């Protein structure tokens, strides 16, 4: 019986050892450099009274920047008409995490990210 278990163990190791897993699909190690970021930077993060976005010069003037709170309520929808945009927070901006999305005129998301508001 002991010999049978040894043979099963060796056969299992042989069969399982022949499989390989391609982790590059799940964890890509390279970033696509063909598509440059349209949003160069946004600051301060965490924010208290406002957040400022700086865009690449190639940003289309028809793009809009949308900001959502963590539960999905749209907080701002602003047309991007220059390389800098400042969003001032009113009393509806509470402490928490916010999502921003840069969208083209058809509504397709070009870029997205998150920032935090502390009050």
Rounded distance between C-alpha atoms, residue 119 and residue 109, angstroms: 29
pTM: 0.69
What are the residues whose beta carbons fall under 8 Å from the beta carbon of 103, sequence distance 6 or more? Answer: 63, 64, 65, 66, 109, 110
User: How many angstroms separate the first and last alpha carbons of the chain?
Assistant: 70
Cβ–Cβ under 8 Å, residues 77 and 66:
yes
Q: What is the pLDDT of residues 62-116, one digit of tens each?
A: 999 999 999 999 999 999 999 999 999 999 999 999 999 999 999 999 999 999 9
């Amino acid at each position: 019986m002991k010999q049978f278990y040894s043979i099963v163990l060796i056969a299992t190791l042989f069969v399982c050892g022949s499989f390989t897993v391609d982790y590059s699909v799940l964890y890509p190690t390279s970033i696509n450099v063909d598509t440059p970021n349209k949003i160069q930077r946004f600051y301060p993060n965490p924010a208290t009274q406002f957040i400022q976005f700086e865009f690449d010069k190639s940003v289309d003037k028809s793009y809009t920047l949308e900001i959502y709170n963590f539960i999905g309520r749209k907080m701002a929808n602003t047309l991007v008409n220059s390389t800098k945009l400042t969003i001032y927070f009113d009393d509806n901006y509470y402490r928490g995490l916010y999502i921003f999305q840069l969208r083209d005129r058809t509504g397709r998301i070009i870029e997205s990210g998150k920032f935090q508001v502390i009050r």
